[in-house]
Chains A and B, each alone.
Chain A
Amino acid sequence: MSKKVAITGMGIVSSIGTTVEENYNSLLHSKHGISNISRINTRHKNTIKVGEISLSNEELIQQLDLPESNNYSRTALIGVIAAKQAVASAKITDKIDGRTGLISATSVGGMDKTEQYFYEFLDNEKNRKYIDGHHAGDSTHKIAKQLGITDYVTTISTACSSSANAIMLGARLIKAGKLDRVVVGGTDCLSKFTINGFKSLMILSDTNCTPFDEDRKGLNLGEAAAYLVLESDEIIAKENKKVLAYVSGYGNANDAFHQTASSENGDGATLAMQKALKISGLQPEQIDYINAHGTATSNNDLSESKALRRVFAEAVPDLSSTKAFTGHTLAAAAAIEAVYAILALRHNVIFPNLNFKTAIEETGIVPVTTVKEKRIAHVLSNSFGFGGNCSTLIFSK
Chain B
Amino acid sequence: MSKCYINGVACISAQHTADNTRFLDEVVNYEKNIIHAIPPIYKDYIAPAAARRMAKGVKMGVVASSIALKEAAIESPDAIITGTGMGCLIDSEKFLTAIIDNDEEYLTPTSFIQSTHNTVGAQVALGLKCNAYNFTYVQAAVSFESCLFDAQLMLNEKEANTILVGGVDELGPITTKYYGLIDHIKDEEINTTKLLDSKTGGSIFGEGASFFVLSNEKQESTYAQLVDVEIISELNIEALQGRVHKFLEHNNTSINDIDAVILGNNGDIDYDNFYKELQTTIFKNTQQLYYKHLCGEFGTASSFGFWIAAMLIKNQRVPDILKMNTKETKSYKNVLLYNQYRGKNHSLVLIRSC
Contacts and interface: CB of A to CB of B under 8 A. Distances in A.
B is a partner of A: yes
Interface of A: 42-44, 102, 106-107, 109, 111, 114-115, 118-119, 121-122, 128, 131-132, 134-138, 140-141, 144-145, 149-159, 165, 169, 172-173, 175-176, 178, 192-193, 196-197, 199-201, 252-260, 267-268, 271, 385-389
A132 B182 contact: yes
Given A137-B345, A144-B234, A201-B113, A387 B140 contact: no
B139 A114 contact: no
B123 interface: yes
B107 interface: yes
Contacts of A132: 179, 182, 184
Given A121-B178, A201-B113, A254-B122, A193 B131 contact: no
14 contacts: A128-B182, A136-B87, A137-B139, A137-B140, A137-B143, A140-B139, A145-B234, A157-B116, A172-B153, A201-B109, A201-B112, A253-B134, A388-B122, A388-B134
A118 B136 contact: no
B51 to A, nearest CB: 15
A197 B95 contact: yes
Closest 10 CB pairs of A and B: A387-B122, A153-B233, A197-B112, A157-B117, A136-B138, A137-B140, A200-B109, A254-B134, A43-B104, A387-B118
Given A149-B233, A176-B153, A107 B113 contact: no
A136 B83 CA distance: 12
Q: Which secondary structure characterizes the binding site on chain A?
A: mixed
A196 B113 CA distance: 11
Contacts of B119: 259, 387
Given A131-B179, A254-B133, 14 more contacts: A43-B104, A121-B181, A128-B182, A136-B117, A136-B139, A153-B142, A154-B142, A156-B137, A175-B157, A197-B95, A252-B133, A252-B135, A253-B131, A258-B126
A153 B181 CA distance: 28
Interface in B115-165: 115-119, 121-123, 125-126, 128-140, 142-143, 146, 149-150, 153, 156-157, 159
Contacts of A200: 107-109, 112
Contacts of B116: 107, 157, 159, 386-387
Contacts of B134: 158, 252-254, 387-389
Contact of A157 (B87, B100, B178): B87
A256 B125 contact: yes
B80 interface: yes
B139 A256 contact: no
B262 to A, nearest CB: 22
B122 A259 contact: yes
B35 interface: no
Interface in B175-213: 175, 177-179, 181-182, 184
Nearest to A125: B181
A197 B131 contact: no
A232 to B, nearest CB: 15
Contacts of A151: 230-233
A199 B181 contact: no
A169 B133 CA distance: 12
B138 A271 contact: no
Nearest to B93: A118
B93 to A, nearest CB: 9
B225 interface: no
A136 B107 CA distance: 24
A215 B118 CA distance: 31
Contacts of B109: 197, 200-201, 260
Contact of A192 (B99, B132, B177, B299): B99
A99 B123 CA distance: 35
Contacts of A254: 80, 122, 125, 130-134
Contacts of B344: 141
Contacts of A119: 100
Nearest to A145: B234
Contact of A128 (B95, B117, B181): B181
A141 B117 contact: no
A176 B104 CA distance: 47
A43 B115 CA distance: 22
B78 to A, nearest CB: 11
A131 B233 contact: no
Contact of A176 (B108, B117, B137, B157): B157
Given A192-B104, A197-B109, A259-B122, A158 B142 contact: no
A152 B153 CA distance: 14
Contacts of B123: 259
Contacts of A257: 126
Contact of B135 (A121, A156, A258): A156
Given A119-B100, A192-B104, A388-B122, A253 B133 contact: yes
Nearest to A44: B104
B220 interface: no
